[in-house]
Structure 1
Amino acid sequence: MSAKKRTDELFVVLHYLKRMKDLIPEVPGVPQGEFMMMHKIHCCLQEGGCQGNVPGVKVSKLSSNMGMSMPAVSQMLKSLQKKGLVTRTAATDDRRVVYVALTTEGERVFSNAIDRFLERVDAVAALFGEEKINQITVLLEDLGHAVERVRADQPEKFAQHI
């Protein structure tokens, strides 16, 4: 395949991928990035990020899991906290360590939105096929890992030049 054809086809696919964000339900007053943060908090807590008497998931873990800087994560969490959707708790033994958890209202908002998301995904899977959904998920994860590796190994290729 020629480089031009590959480029043209990739742009079409990237356009479709961008439209996939439409599957994520709108939550009034909560931008998609903040909703994705709520999802990550929920997942980390479900995966055992909150063991013993730890009051949530570490902000540093959220930062690394989401590939975001600590200041960006802190700003997003501050916004979610103002909306009453998350709590932030400093560790008693090290005040630099902060734990985050969804509030009861945060869990309710998240749960309602996830239900709508799953309905949309089920409708797409019914048309596209469950096996194809699984295949494309694996392929897109592999593609994402490849892009991140090139981004890390060759940052000059991702520098913003205008």
Structure 2
Amino acid sequence: MSSHEQHSTGQRLFRAFDRVRKANWRRGAEASHRPSEMKLLFYVKRGLSFNALGMTISEISSGLEVTSPTVTQLINSLETQGLVERRMDQDDRRVVRVTLTDEGHASIAKAREALFGRFDDLIEHLGTQRSEQLADLLEEVAEFMSNRPDKAE
């Protein structure tokens, strides 16, 4: 492949990735909540499978790679909406754990259904074989990007 062809292909890949990034995959999934709130809800739900008592602010902060004050603001908002609640840890009263309310669980289920419905639509559009190929390619891209040393270093 010539340098010009490689550059052109690189530009095409960049535009395609940019368009996919800008596509609103969550549209309709849970319009009343910000993406950051939904991400926190999904993270807390996953954490509950490891500790049914809930997650601490620091665990959420670390897992989402955001500051504790940011997590606290999100939790305040979600608590006001009735989606999460704070509980004192039974063993250490200095520790506060965050859990989902029934409404929080229902909100996640609704968002999950809408999001995966979009992927079902994509599979129907592309067909199973091309969807499998796309998943394989995207996994390969993710592996490449996460293991590639930054050339600028």
TM-score interval, smaller chain: 0.7 to 0.9
Quote the Cα distance in structure 2 between the aligned partners of 1:86 and 1:9: 43
**Residues 133 and 56 of structure 1, relative CA distance in 2, 3 Å threshold:** farther
- Figure out how many residues of one structure are paired with residues of the other and give that number: 145
- Measure how far apart 1:4 and its partner are: 5.0
1:49 and 1:57 in contact (8 A); partners too = no
Query: Which residue among 23, 26, 31 is the counterpart of 1:24?
Result: 26
Q: Distance in 1 between matches of 2:35 and 2:114?
A: 14
Hey, what's the Cα distance between the residues in 2 that align with 1:84 and 1:58?
18
- The runs of 5 or more residues in structure 2 that have no matched partner are none
What is the letter of the counterpart of residue 12 of structure 2? E
Would the alpha carbon gap of residues 25 and 113 (structure 1) be closer, same or farther in structure 2, given more than 3 Å must change? farther
Q: For 1:109 and 1:74, locate their aligned partners in 2 and report how far apart those are by CA, in whole Å.
A: 20
Deviation >6 Å, runs of 4+: none
In 2, distance between residues paired with 1:56 and 1:114? Answer: 20
**Aligned-residue identity in percent:** 22
Q: Distance in 2 between matches of 1:144 and 1:83?
A: 38
The 3 A distance-change label for structure 1 pair 93 and 29 is same
Instruction: Give 1:96 shift.
Output: 4.6
1:139 aligns with 2:143: no
1:8-157 matched pairs, under 5 angstroms: 8-20=11-23, 22-26=24-28, 27-45=30-48, 48-51=49-52, 55-128=53-126, 129-142=130-143, 145-146=146-147
Shift of 1:93: 4.1
TM-score (norm 1): 0.72
| Aligned position for 1:160 | none
CA deviation profile, 1:83-126 (whole Å, cap 9, x unmatched) = 11001223244445331111001111111121111111111123
- What is the CA–CA distance in structure 2 between the aligned matches of 1:32 and 1:43, rounded to whole Å? 16
* CA RMSD between the two structures: 2.8
Measure the CA separation in 2 of the matches of 1:60 and 1:101.
14
Asked if the contact 1:90–1:97 (Cα under 8 Å) also holds between the matched residues in 2, the reply is: yes
